[in-house]
Amino acid sequence: MAAWVTGASRGLGRAIAVGLANNGWRVAITARSAEGLSKVASEISSSGGEALVLPADVTDPDSLRAVATEIRNAWHGLDACITAAGISPIRKPGNEISDQEWREILRSNLDGTFWSIREAARLMLAAGRPGSIIAISSVHGQVGARGLAAYSASKGAIDALVRSLAADWALSGIRVNVLAPGYFSTDMTEGVRRSERSRSALLDRILLNRFGEASELVPAVLFLASPDSSYVTGSTLVVDGGWTTM
């Protein structure tokens, strides 16, 4: 089984890539940082796994086409794609968001996700075999918050995009789903976790009263990537410790 993970050099993307490899998947890993990817690949290979290091910027569709070509040449197809690449929120009221900030977030989080999914689907369709695509979104694609207009817009658009793409490719055997994490202990949430006020406010809302560990997202990825979820497409699986119930 072969999987492609974007945003694999750190955070949730790294945990997903390592988790897949530890469960027998060959993993193509993509991010802008070649150095970061090399560290992840070393971790995977030290445990007996196979990693294909393919640095690329998801905001550049040409580089993603090149990645897809490398995957096709190496493995002749693809069984799963997980799009974990994206940038963290710019926290400011909507009236203060600059044109450049808006475009940067939408281009990284939404455009990059679509372009990655498109290339993965093309690989799967060309090989004529079923596959699973998992777009990493966020609880903020469903629930708004102050200062997160651009980020929430990008993640909510991913949720809608996936529903349409699931309809496009259902009869071709390609399932497309969203995995929406809540607050995990990663570098993206370091700022809010270090602020006592922000940390307390978040923990008061999380039913399990703690931040998730990146490894806790892996079982959800394994489920959606595998035939165990063969009747699941166009859906959103929320993994948030109960945050969205409040």
The residues annotated as belonging to the active site are 151
Q: Which residues of 164-176 are buried (b: 16+ CB within 10 A; e: fewer)?
A: ebbeebeeeebbb
Asked if 174 contacts 130 with a C-beta cutoff of 8 angstroms, the reply is yes
State how far Cα 206 lies from the chain centre.
Answer: 22
Asked if 220 contacts 84 with a C-beta cutoff of 8 angstroms, the reply is no
CA–CA distance, 233 with 20 (Å, rounded to integer): 20
CA–CA distance, 196 with 191 (Å, rounded to integer): 10
Token pair of 157 as six digits:
């658009």
Phi, psi dihedral angles at 224 (to 5 degrees): -70, -25
Bridge partners of residue 30, in order along the sequence: 6
- Identity of the amino acid at 53: V
CA–CA distance, 153 with 164 (Å, rounded to integer): 17
3-state secondary structure of 137: coil
CA–CA distance, 94 with 102 (Å, rounded to integer): 10
